[in-house]
A and B are shown apart, each in its own frame.
Chain A
Amino acid sequence: MANRARTDEGRVLAKSVSFVLPTPVSPRASWFVRGALRFLNYFRETDTKTARDLSFLSFLHWVVLKRDDFDSVNSESGQKNRLEHDYNLFLSTFDGPWQPYVDAFSDVLGHAIDFVWSFSIGYPGSKPDSKFRKYIFLNQLDAHHHYTAYPIASVRDVRRALHLQSNLSEFAEQSKDLEPEQFAQEFRRLLIRVQNDLGTIGPLEK
């Protein structure tokens, strides 16, 4: 399986990890789930603050699949998919190992995920952790291929890089005509502003 993205002919592991969770939902409830997700999506600038504070969630797609979406026919048996449920499909990308991610989800976003997943059949709730982890483990889909354009960077690394880029570009422009003493003083001020952005960025292992 390929939940963690790779580079360099597969020798180097990237920091981002795939997490995919399909869960069955009653067709009578799925319209409400879709509505709830659309509502959350509309207010995502504010209601995803907690998700941003977690600092390891780079991308998230949440989709509701209707039974009609699975209307293909098996070309060999001629049988058509006939499903009893709609499916709530959660696809996210996070940095780091699986268990802390799932635990953080349960601890920090428990109310939000309970709100959406409570319509999924068999969902035990985000507490206690052990039942929640078991439910995820039983339902999770492994990725067969996962790619990221910046394999060496975590969510925090990208934030630091963009913050530093903005500050450094501004400094380079504004310090062009300064005298050396003044330049050195401004340079020290720049370092104070970006001191948290100077950590090492690199791959996990070779």
Chain B
Amino acid sequence: MILSSGSGSGRNRYGSKYGYTALFPIRDADCRVALRKSLLDMDAHKYGSPFSDVPRIHLARLIVWDGLPYQGLPSKADRLEAGYLIFMCDFDGETVRNLAGSLVVNAFDFVQDIWGKCSGFPVTGEGPFDTNAAAKQFADYLRRYQVETSLFFCDQPHATVEEILSGIKMQIAFAKFVEANQADDPVTLQQKFRQFWEDLKGSQDLLPGRLPDTEPRGTGLGEKAQP
């Protein structure tokens, strides 16, 4: 069906990121309704989305597409007899296999729930579960329905999810440190900075999709600045 632009195509990549776009045919009308409900219900997930369990994903989007825009006469109207699931995903990695492996390992129930409603989904989950085999099957499936991202742009092509979250954690902590220690003498400032830096290095990482409200004592994260 869909052109297989190939996971090795440079057009789908920018820096350390891969821009994946795909169009999956949905099985039938019942699946289309169920899929729409499943997707909208995902907002109530503890961290906004099951994708938050997949640490290499920067951004993901799912859309049920069952109607095409009509531009009026003299244009002819197109009509979709079968619906499609649009999947757009930006992740750290070089191939679709990276994405498939991470999804299967970290969010397999979610994968089954969503792509199980699409035609040709190969991973049934029956019998003894073989992660490698499932990841390979799912990667083949993702490649089969992939479309070429002819133009792929991102603002930070070389920063991974982990690096960006680490930067955000550091920014929040340091802004509070500066606010709380503006009038310190040099000796106190140096001591406090060393302590701050040690605490920051030892503090828990900010995790994908989460709010920074559970950080440990001493970094200034989630605390009010002390005068």
A interface residue numbers (CB < 8 A to B): 1-2, 5-10, 12, 14, 16, 18, 20, 22-24, 34, 37-38, 40-41, 44, 48, 51-52, 57-66, 68-77, 79-81, 83-85, 87, 89, 91, 93, 121-122, 138-139, 141-153, 155, 157-162, 164-165, 168, 172, 175, 178, 180-181, 183-184, 187, 191, 194, 197-201, 203
With a cutoff of 8 Å between Cβ atoms, the chain B residues found around residue A9 in the complex are 44-46
Contact for A61 among B81, B149, B178, CB less than 8 A: B149
- Grouping DSSP codes into helix (H, G, I), strand (E, B) and loop, the B interface class, with mixed when no group exceeds half, is mixed
Q: Are A74 and B82 in contact (CB under 8 A)?
A: yes
- Closest-CB distance, B165 to chain A (whole angstroms): 6
Query: Do residues B75 and A93 form an inter-chain contact, with CB atoms below 8 A?
Result: no
Q: How many A-B residue pairs have CB under 8 A?
A: 276
Report the bound CA distance from A108 to B166 in whole Å: 33
* Inter-chain contacts of A70 with B (CB < 8 A): 23, 80, 84
CB distance B174 to A168 under 8 Å? yes
Q: Do B78 and A77 touch across chains, with their CB atoms under 8 A apart?
A: no
Residue among A48, A165, A181, A201 with most chain B CB within 10 A: A165
Query: Which residues of the partner chain B approach A183 to less than 8 Å between Cβ atoms?
Result: 186, 189-190, 193
Residues of chain B within 8 A of A58, CB atoms compared = 59, 154-155
Binding site for A on B (CB under 8 A): 1-3, 11, 14, 19, 21, 23, 25, 27-29, 36, 39-40, 42-49, 51-52, 57-65, 68-69, 71-72, 75-76, 78-82, 84, 86, 88, 90, 119, 147-156, 159, 161, 163-168, 170-172, 174-175, 178, 185-187, 189-190, 193, 197, 208-212
Of the listed residues B3, B43, B78, B165, the one surrounded by the most CB atoms of chain A closer than 10 A to its CB is: B43
B156 contact from A23, A44, A141, A158, Cβ within 8 A:
A158
CB contacts (< 8 Å) of A72 on chain B: these are 1, 25, 81-82, 84, 119
